[in-house]
Amino acid sequence: MSKLWGGRFTKETNELVESFTASISFDQKLALEDIEGSLAHVQMLGECEIIPMDDVEVIKQGLKKIEKQILNNEVQFSVEDEDIHMNIEKLLLEEVGPVGGKLHTGRSRNDQVATDMHLYLRKQTLELIELVKSVQNALLIQAKEHTETIMPGYTHLQRAQPILFAHHLLAYFWMFERDKERLVDSIKRINWLPLGAGALAGTTFPIDRNRTAELLGFETVYPNSLDAVSDRDFIVEFLSIASIIMTHISRISEELVIWSSQEYQFIELDDSFCTGSSIMPQKKNPDVPELLRGKTGRVYGNLIGLLTVLKGLPLAYNKDMQEDKEGMLDTVETLNGSLRLLAPMIETMVVNKEKMYSAVSQDYSNATDLADYLVTKGLPFRQAHEIIGKTVLYAIQHNKYLFELTLDEYQQFSSLFAEDIFKVLQPKHVVEARNSFGGTSISQVLQQIQLAEHKMK
């Protein structure tokens, strides 16, 4: 059988052009969505009496048979038929004969491909929401285990103030919570149906677009046929959300890499998430978090790639838009795989509480509390800051930590210091003192956990 659009042509397509313009190698991933869209379209055509119901039934049976063959891996797609839409139409014609040619009434590949992408992204987004939840769940499980585990909190990667490990993990919980919200919100816009827009201007047939939307579970139809076939915002939005999620995945991965280094030894990743070195027998490399960090690059690339493809396009469909697919498919696969790995990796990591605690005990991260101490004795914060700065310098010069200075030494800097400062310097006291809403004290963190658990319901 020749090309479905061959009528107007007198020459065969150049072979290089054929493979250059074909998308079947990647858009076959949309095969099931293409069939789903066609089943709804043909049903609507029948109900609107545009084609006889008998023909509708024959076409539907044919499509369902092809669907089964695809699921059983029995179908060989061909580059000659360019893309998934024409491949399936060709298979249908082979299956049911010329009546199959009625399927494409009142539609174009332009509204068809957009519909396939909407259906595909909706399905994938719903799955991704569940996967984000699984990461949140893993973070919550670890956070609940570590509501008394104290670690150094950093700014500029310099020890800043001690915090609860649970507090640190929960920071990621909230990032993923916003990601989840973004994914959920994006479905509103994915749920606009382009089908029925035709090539660009609508169709001469008395179709019922709302009926097709209803059959496919869309909330509404695009009110403008040009917009319907030109719009790829929903994919850009998906890639943006995916990029933000990958940023979060990458940041936590970076921390896992650092924390599992010999220098920190705050955590140990489970053996099943690490690999060895072909030459250095002692190595246990955090390949998984490294690769998660690395894969962030390709997702950003896919976002910028699509934005660039779209920025200069006149309305309506242009072949450039075929370039929307690989980046989207790759992003779905990358993000899905990343979230699937991140959740169990977090859940199985072993936390070295002692190492974390000895880190906070051997630093100057309680200095702010000393300044706050002087403030409670009536000194303005700026002056207190200056005094403690000098005290810290003195301690460093004498090779001591703050808790190792004597009260006499303290009193050289301010007569306001009394015996109770030694209590104030304890890491646990430092943590507990930060009892403002959203702070790191145990009771605040427990409250945060409750709120987080509520979000997971």
| For ligand ARG, the closer CB: 199 or 244 | 199
Is residue 122 within 8 A of residue 191, CB to CB? The reply is: yes
* Interface region with ligand ARG, contact rule CB under 6 A, candidates 41-49, 108-116, 205-213, 416-424: 108-116
| Type of residue numbered 379 | L
Binding mask 303-342 for ligand ARG (x = CB under 6 A): --------------x-x-xx--------------------
Contact criterion met (CB below 8 Å) for 107 and 41 = yes
Residue 146 near residue 356, CB atoms below 8 Å: no
Q: How far is the CB of 50 from ligand ARG (least distance, A)?
A: 22
Shortest distance (Å) from residue 83 CB to ligand ARG? 4
In this structure, the chain runs to a length of 457
Tell whether residue 110 is a contact of ligand ARG (CB under 6 A): yes
Query: How many residues contact ligand ARG, by CB under 6 A?
Result: 10
Instruction: Determine, following the binding rule CB under 6 A, whether residue 23 of this chain makes contact with ligand ARG.
Output: yes
Gyration radius of the chain's alpha carbons: 31
Residue 163's beta-bridge partner residues? 151
State which residue, 46 or 106, has the beta carbon closest to ligand ARG.
Answer: 106
Pick 33 or 83: Cβ nearer ligand ARG? 83
Q: Give min distance, CB of 75 to ligand ARG, in A.
A: 17
Distances (CA, A) of 375 to 299, 366, 370, 380: 49, 15, 9, 6
**Cβ distance to ligand ARG smaller for residue 83 or 369:** 83
Which ranges of 98-232 does DSSP label H, i.e. alpha helix? 109-145, 165-190, 209-216, 225-230
Q: Which of 25, 277, 358, 443 is catalytic?
A: 277
CA atoms within 13 A on the CB side of 171: 13
* Min CB(23)–ligand ARG separation in Å: 4
Kindly indicate which of the ranges 38-46, 106-114, 130-138, 217-225 contains the residues binding ligand ARG, using the contact rule CB under 6 A.
Answer: 106-114
Please confirm, yes or no, whether 23 is among the known catalytic residues: no
CB-based contact 274:292 (threshold 8 Å): no
Q: How far apart are the C-alpha atoms of 30 and 234, rounded to whole Å?
A: 16
Q: Which one among 41, 109, 167, 180 touches ligand ARG, defined by CB under 6 A?
A: 109
Q: Pick between residue 79 and residue 244 the one whose CB is nearest to ligand ARG.
A: 79
Q: How far apart are alpha carbons 376 and 387 in whole angstroms?
A: 14
Is residue 240 near ligand ARG by the rule CB under 6 A?
no
Distance of closest approach, residue 108 Cβ to ligand ARG, in angstroms: 7
Taking contact as CB under 6 A, which single stretch among the options 109-117, 209-217, 404-412, 439-447 is the one that binds ligand ARG?
Answer: 109-117
Residues 6+ apart with CB under 8 A from 174: 452
Three-state DSSP state, 407: helix
Q: Which of 156, 278, 415, 436 is catalytic?
A: 156
Closest CB 27 distance from ligand ARG, rounded Å? 6
Please give the Cα distance from 128 to 48 (Å, whole number).
Answer: 37
Q: How far is the CB of 77 from ligand ARG (least distance, A)?
A: 13
C-beta closer to ligand ARG: residue 60 or 109 = 109
Given the complex with ligand ARG, which of 194 and 286 has the nearer CB atom? 194
- Least separation in angstroms between residue 329's CB and ligand ARG is 12
Question: CB 71 → ligand ARG: shortest distance, Å?
Answer: 22
CA distance 253 to 265: 15
Task: Return the number of the residue (110 or 136) whose C-beta is nearest ligand ARG.
Answer: 110
User: Which residues inside 349-408 make contact with ligand ARG, applying CB under 6 A?
Assistant: none
CB of 179 within 8 A of CB of 241?
A: yes
SS3 394: helix
- Cα separation, 335 vs 361, in Å, equals 39
**Residue 81 vs 179, nearer CB to ligand ARG:** 81
CA distance 80 to 279: 49
Question: Is 115:321 a contact under the CB 8 Å cutoff?
Answer: no
Could you give the CA distance from residue 302 to residue 165 in angstroms, rounded to a whole number?
Answer: 34
Cβ atoms 311, 251 nearer than 8 A: no
Our separate counts of H helices and E strands in the chain read: 19, 6
- Active site includes 261? no
Using CB under 6 A, pick the residue from 83, 89, 111, 369 that binds ligand ARG.
Answer: 83
For binding to ligand ARG (CB under 6 A), which residues are involved?
23, 27, 83, 109-110, 113, 317, 319, 321-322
Which residues are catalytically annotated?
156, 277
